[in-house]
Amino acid sequence: MKFWTIAATATALSLAACSPPAETPAPPAQEVVVEAPSGEYAVDVHHTTVTARVLHFGLSHYQLRLNGVTGTLNFNAEDPSATTVAITVDTRTLDTPYAGDRDFDAELQNSEWLDSTGFPTATFQSTAVEVTGPNTARLTGDLTIRGVTQPATFDVTYNSSWAQHPMGFPVAGIGFSARGVISRAAYGLNVLQPQAGAPNSGVADDVELVIEAEFNRPNPQGDLPAPAQPAEPVN
C-alpha cells in the first residue's frame, strides 16, 4: 500500500505541474471617495508647482520648477467631465538647481528661452475632460507660452479631497497630479535644439510637464472642531 500511496502522490503532483494555474480573481475596484463639494476652488499657491523635465544632451532629464501658480477650478463632483480649470504660471518664478556664479534662473527667464519680460505669464484653459478611470481623466485645453497658443493634453489623477481641512481650518480641499508632454519648438523655444539625426547633440524638443496641484475653497459648513494632531509645517 505504501508504494501505491507514493505513486499516487507523484502522479497527482505531476498532473498539478502540467495543469494551468487557476486564475486569480481580480480584486474588486476600490470605491473612489470624493468628499469635496462641487463649486469654484482657488489654487493653493503654497502647495502647487509645475515641474518641467527635458532630456539634456542625452545624459539626464534635467528638471526645473515654476513656483508661481494661480488659477481656479470649477469642480463638478457629480459629473467630473463638466469640470473646468484655468491656470496662470508666473514665468519669472522659474527655479533651477544651478548653484554656480551665474544667475542661471535669470538667464532662462530673460532670454529667448522664456522672455519673461515680454511674456511674464503662461496660461492653460481647459476645453474638455474625458474620464478614463475611477480616479483618472484626460484633460485637454489651450496652453499659451510666449504668446503662442497650442492644444495640450494632460493625464490627470485625482488624489484625494476633504470637505474640511483635517486640522480644522474652515476650507474644503482637493488635489490632483497631472503629466503631459509638449513640443517646445511649437512655442518658438528653439534654443539648443538637437541636430537632425543626432538626438543627444542638444536639449530635447519634448518637454514633460509634471503638475502637483491643490485647490481650496471656503467650507460652507463653517469652522468645525479640529482633530488633535501635530501642527502642519509652514510649507
Helices (H) and strands (E) in the chain, counts: 2, 9
Residue 220: pLDDT band by 50, 70, 90 thresholds?
Answer: low
Query: How does pLDDT run across 132-190, given as a tens digit for each residue?
Result: 999 999 999 999 999 999 999 999 999 999 999 888 889 999 999 999 999 999 999 99
Are β-strands 171-183 and 206-218 bridged in parallel, bridged antiparallel, or unpaired?
Answer: antiparallel
Phi, psi of 97 (to 5 degrees): -85, 5
The whole-chain average pLDDT of the chain stands at: 86
Q: Cell match 480584486: residue?
A: 27
Counting Cα atoms < 13 Å in the Cβ hemisphere of 94 gives 25
Helix intervals (H) in the chain: 2-18, 104-109
Q: What is the pLDDT of residue 14?
A: 45
29 within 8 A of 56, measured Cβ to Cβ: no
Q: What is the pTM of this model?
A: 0.81
- Which contiguous run of DSSP H or E holds residue 63? strand 60-75
| Percent of the chain with pLDDT strictly greater than 90 | 68
**Tens digits of residue pLDDT in 13-62:** 444 445 555 566 655 556 788 999 999 999 999 999 999 999 999 999 99
Domain boundaries, the chain: 32-218
Q: Tell which residue, 94, 86, 84, 72, has the closest CA to residue 123.
A: 86
Distances (CA, A) of 37 to 34, 97, 162, 219: 8, 38, 8, 9
Closest to 37 in 3D by CA, of 164, 148, 169? 164
Q: For domain 32-218, give the fold.
A: Lipocalin (2.40.128)
Please check whether residue 148 is in contact with residue 187, taking contact to mean a CB–CB distance below 8 angstroms.
yes
C-alpha cell at 161: 479631497
